[in-house]
Structures are given as C-alpha cells and as structure tokens.
Structure 1
Amino acid sequence: MNAQELSWIALWGAAALYAIAMVASSIHLSRVADAKASAKGKVAAAVGAPHAGDAAASPPTASAGRQPAVASKATGIARSTTLVGALLNGIGVVTRGIEAGHAPWSTMYEYTITGTFVAVVVFLIVQSRRDVSYLAPGVTGFATIALGIGLTTLYQASTGLQPALQSFWLVIHVSIAIIATGVFIVAAVATVLQLMRDYRDEGPVASGGPIRRWRNANARLLGRWKWLEAVPSPPTLEALSFRLHAVGFVLWTFTVMAGAVWAEHAWGRYWGWDPKEVWSFIIWVVYAAYLHARTTQGWAGRRSAVIALIGFVTLIMNFTVVNLYFQGMHTYA
C-alpha cells in the first residue's frame, strides 16, 4: 500500500466516522432536550404542589438552570468516533503530504482535507475545556460534507509545486489561513445555533410585512425542533462565538499580512488587486465589522450574529467562487 492509497482509505474512513458522530451526537442532543423538559416539568409540579411552604416541595434553585447530565451509548459513540475520525483525517493529510513531497496545502483538495481536520481539532480542544457537545452535530456534519466533496469533486493528483509556491511562506501563510478557517467554521456553527435559539425563544410576533411573516414562519418551524432545548441560551452561545471569532480574526489578520509579504517576495509587489487578495481583505473587513458591532451598544446579539454569518459566507465564496471562476495569480489555489 502506497501513500496515496493510505491517504484515500484514511480520509474515507474519517468521513464515515464523522457521519456516525453526527448521528450519535444528534441523538444525544435529543435525549438532553427530553431530560431538560422533564426537569422543567418536575420543577413546575413542585411549585404548584399543595404544600408550597414545604421545603421538599420548593424547587432547588441551585440546579434550576443547570443542564441535566445525560449519559448514554450515543454520547460515547459520538465522542469516540469524532476522536478516531480526527486521527484518520490527520493521517490522511500527512500521507497526502508524503505522496506530494511538500506541505499538503497547494490545491483546493489539500486545503479542504486539512481545513476539515483543523475544524474538528478546534472543536475537540474547546470540548476538552467545557461541554460544547451541542456543537458536535454541526461540526461533524460540516466535516462529513467537506470531506465528501473533497474526495469526490475536488481531488487532484499530486504534482510538483509551481515556482511561486516553492517558498517557506507556503508553510507560514497557508497554514495560518487554514487554522483561521477551522476556527471560523466552529464559530459559525455556534452563531447559527445562537440565531436559531434566539428566534425560537422569541416565538411568533405580531403580523406585519413579508419580512415579519418570514420570521414568524421560521419561529414556528424552530418551535417544533425540540432538540433546541439542549442548546444553551443565546447570550451563552454569543459569548462562545465571539471568543472564537476573535481568535480567528487575529489569525486571518496575520494571513493577510503574510500574504502581502509573500506577494512582494514572489511578484515584486505587496498588493496587486488580485481577486484572491481582494476577497481576503473583504473577509477581514466583514469580521472586523462584526467584532466592532459586537462590542457596540445596540448591535450585540442578533444583528452582530448576522454580520458574522455574512463573514463566513464571504469566506466560503473566497474558497469556491473566487478559486473556480476568477482568473488571477492564485488560480492554482
């Protein structure tokens, strides 16, 4: 078995395990939601008991807002498959690098398999510090789709590096961009959950124009998704999202700066209005606007979350639309 075959087997195995982890973590969330609903019912029954003054009838305030702990086979399956999937994903990236003879970050396929690995690792690091299992379905689901598209559509046989890429800046510039992308993926999942929980908690409002009717339809739909009960409150999700976005923004800032230095080294200019350069700067501007809006009175919450998702859309467009349909100095990416 050569490096190419080992890479393919490892990456397909990772995609399969991520899919299993997505299903198992979704089952876990549904059980947490059921346990939470049951706990609320018991608290309500205790409050409405005939002997309200009895200490046994009053709800325990210390645990009223606490997330119920639910241990099940689904929990263990989700965690183990995510961990083993990340291990196989890493093996697939390393063996691709061995096959190519250089850092595996020179094509869309290589960027995809590495970015997916980083996103899952970022999730596992955060999970090791606090319980963020509610992010697992989104992160592993994104990883499954990304690896599937990479292996079936974006795959390219390994070739030698173009002259412009034969530089140590490939390791510095592109690796930081990939890490930033992985952080932004996890942050985007938290932001989507924040908006979903926010609209669900608000519920339908007084009818009005088409935008309000659209919001009410979404609120009614989200109201049927009981698993959202297992998701923390919007402020908690917003705080997590903000921290992740702040880290990603710092990394992306370094990405843009390192790219300018590399461009001067390779092409003799720091900035040339290349489509990839322009879109990288647009991403930086949108995320800068999000961080500013998040810390500005009146813009925190739903408004800033929408800006964060716009930033993620520009990030995806930079990787897909710009790479595939715009001609420039970065067409090899």
Structure 2
Amino acid sequence: MSALSDQLVTFAILAYLVAMISHAVEYALGNARRRYVVAQPARELVGAAVGGSGGTITKAPDPAPQVTGVEGRPVGQARIAGLVAVGATVVAAALHLAALVTRGIAADRMPWGNMYEFVLTVTFVGVAGWLVVLAKRPSLRKLGLFLTLVMVLLVATAELVLYVPVVPLVPALNSYWFIIHVSTIVFSSGILLLGVVPAVAFLMRRGYEAGKRSFPYTLAKRLPAAAALERLTFVLHAFSFPVFTFAVIAGAIWAEAAWGRPWGWDPKETWAFISWVVYAGYLHARATPSVKRNVATWIAVVGFLTMLMNLFGVNIFFTGLHSYGGLS
C-alpha cells in the first residue's frame, strides 16, 4: 500500500501538470476570435420609367449580407482546452485522494503524522475546494491556471523534498485530540491555501484594470473581473477563519492534557497565533469601509506567508514540542 501511495502521488503530479498546461493553452487562446467572411451582393438598379420625356431610376434596398464561411482560429479551441484542464484536475484530485487513502491504510492511522502527509492532505483540501467553487462559478475557470501551478509546486515539493517512509505515529500524537485538532487545522489550511490564489489574482487584475501594463499585471489580462476575485477571496477567508480559530483552541486544550499547560509560546504555537492575528486583521480591514480592498487583500497574502512559515520554517529552523515534521 505504501508503494502504491507513492506511485499515485507521482501520477497525481503528472495529472496536475497536464491540467496546468491545458489551462495555459486556454489562457494563450483567450483572445482568439472568429472572423467571418461576409459576401456583399452587388447592388441592383430597378424601376426605370417607360415612355415620356425621360425616366427615373430608383435603387432597390441593399440585400442583407450573407456569411459564407469562417476564417482564423476558432475560440472553441480555447474552450476545449479549458474543459480538458478541468477534467485533468478532477483526475488529479481522484489520484490525490487515493494516495492519501492508501497511505493511511499502510500506516494504519490518519495520514497526518509528518510534513509529507500534512502537505499532501492540505493540498487535497485546496483542490477539492477549488472544484466546488468551479462547479458553482464556472466563469472563474481561468483561475485554474494559478491553482494548478500551486498544486504542482507543493505536491512535487512534498514528494521530492519532504517524503518519509511510513512510520508509526509519534507517541505524543496518539490521542483522540489528534483527530480533532489536526483535521480542523488541515481543513482550514487547505481553504486558506485556496483563498490566497484569488487574492494574488485580484491584486494582479486590479493593477491591470488601473492601467498597469508591466509584468506581472499583463498576466491578469484574461482573468475574471477584479471584483469577482475579491469577493471570492473574502468568502473563502470568512469561511475558513472560524475553523482555524477552533483548531487553535483545540490545540491549546490538547496541550493542557498532554503537557500540563495550554500555551507555552512554543515556536509553532507562536506562529499559529501570528497567523490568527494577521487573518483577523484582514477580516477587520475588509469590513472597514475606509480601508482599500487591495490593502486588505495584501494582509491576506501576508497571512498565508505566515502559514507557510509555520508549516515549513518552524519545522526546519526551530526545535520545539511540535517537531514532528519527519525531516532529518
């Protein structure tokens, strides 16, 4: 089962790569337009008078032009590429889920015991959330280019850098709070991962709509409108923040039961608190009329950077009670 899980992760990465390339093709063909060949019929002169000193010639109305064919590259190609990208993303998500299930069966536990398994689970939650968003708002499909890019980078990093063989659960994690705390932190982290994609896309699109034509703003030319991206960013963060808050509280309760104190400013606890404060600041800024939407969105991006620090930086650069990353 462990070997099968590893193979499924590899195939999932390849499927995400196919989806990303297909989205890129759709993106590149986004400006393709149908060019119609229009036949203009010759004008006819009718109504010549008969008899008398002279005649009057009247012009009949021009017949309607007739479309005789289509030239150029049809926009249907872009739509087909987009549909292929969505199909590849669904296949990748199914392979991703199967890899997690087989990993859990091989370990005889939930597959959340180290950084490799944690990143795999968080990214799956992110892509599953994206498919739900896409089902409700198909007009946001072009955002899939950036989402699949994130999936390729993170899942490939997990496979190539963070991978560890299946090992038993660390004794300190052998508690029912493991399910409660880690499941909620995984779920909220996955939605926050999804939320940063429209946040960055909004900042790019907002700059493009404001007249900026330098890189990276030109990449946003074919993205959905800035207002739609900003609303999606807010909805995802407003949905995930209460879950993240509960996860932090559950972690404190678990720490009280395991270590005799609810909070000890352990590096991971500290960075979780920093992330919570930043995301609370984003929601407060978003609800304040005097704060510009792009300023509030930048706060959300900074919040995700603190989440990355908590996930990677704390496990790599610090040693604490939460050092279960599985890195040597």
Do both share a fold (TM > 0.5)?
Answer: yes
Deviations 1:280-323 (A, max 9, x none): 01100000000000110121311001101000100001101111
Q: Does 1:231 align with 2:236?
A: no
- Report the TM-score when normalising by structure 2: 0.83
Q: Which amino acid aligns with 1:23?
A: I
Q: Which amino acid aligns with 1:300?
A: K
State the superposition RMSD in angstroms. 1.9
CA contact (8 A) 1:235 1:301 kept: no
CA contact (8 A) 1:203 1:223 kept: no
Q: 1:166 aligns with which of 155, 159, 174?
A: 174
Q: Report SS of the residue matched to 2:109.
A: coil
Deviations 1:206-250 (A, max 9, x none): xxxxxxxxxxxxx4224544xx23212222211110000111211
Q: Which residue of 1 aligns with 2:238?
A: 246
Q: How does 1:54-133 map to 2 (within 5 A)?
A: 72-131=79-138, 132-133=140-141
Q: Does 1:151 align with 2:159?
A: yes
Q: Residue 223 and residue 168 in structure 1: after superposition, are their counterparts in 2 closer, same or farther (change >3 A)?
A: closer
CA distance in 2 between counterparts of 1:300 and 1:246 reads 18
Q: Which residue of 2 aligns with 1:5?
A: 3
CA distance in 2 between counterparts of 1:125 and 1:70 reads 25
CA contact (8 A) 1:32 1:69 kept: no
CA distance in 1 between counterparts of 2:290 and 2:167 reads 52
Q: 1:25 aligns with which of 23, 28, 45?
A: 23
CA contact (8 A) 1:115 1:182 kept: yes
Q: Residue 247 and residue 223 in structure 1: after superposition, are their counterparts in 2 closer, same or farther (change >3 A)?
A: closer
- Report the TM-score when normalising by structure 1: 0.82
CA distance in 1 between counterparts of 2:237 and 2:282 reads 9
Q: Which amino acid aligns with 2:24?
A: S
Higher helix share: 1
Compute the displacement of 1:23 (Å). 1.0
Ranges in structure 2 where 5+ consecutive residues have no aligned partner: 36-63, 65-74
Q: Report SS of the residue matched to 2:161.
A: helix
CA contact (8 A) 1:116 1:147 kept: yes
- Between Structure 1 and Structure 2, how many residues are aligned? 286
Compute the displacement of 1:34 (Å). 3.9
CA distance in 1 between counterparts of 2:236 and 2:19 reads 22
Compute the displacement of 1:134 (Å). 2.1
Q: Report SS of the residue matched to 1:327.
A: coil
Q: Which amino acid aligns with 2:214?
A: R
Q: Which amino acid aligns with 1:256?
A: V
CA distance in 2 between counterparts of 1:230 and 1:270 reads 48
Deviations 1:76-107 (A, max 9, x none): 21011100100000010111111111111010
Higher strand share: 2
Q: Residue 235 and residue 72 in structure 1: after superposition, are their counterparts in 2 closer, same or farther (change >3 A)?
A: closer
Q: Which residue of 2 aligns with 1:210?
A: none
CA distance in 2 between counterparts of 1:264 and 1:17 reads 43
Q: Which residue of 1 aligns with 2:203?
A: 195
Which has the higher Rg, Structure 1 or Structure 2? 2
Deviations 1:240-289 (A, max 9, x none): 10000111211110110110111111111111111101100110000000
- Give aligned-pair identity as a percent: 38
CA contact (8 A) 1:193 1:231 kept: yes
Ranges in structure 1 where 5+ consecutive residues have no aligned partner: 40-55, 57-67, 205-218
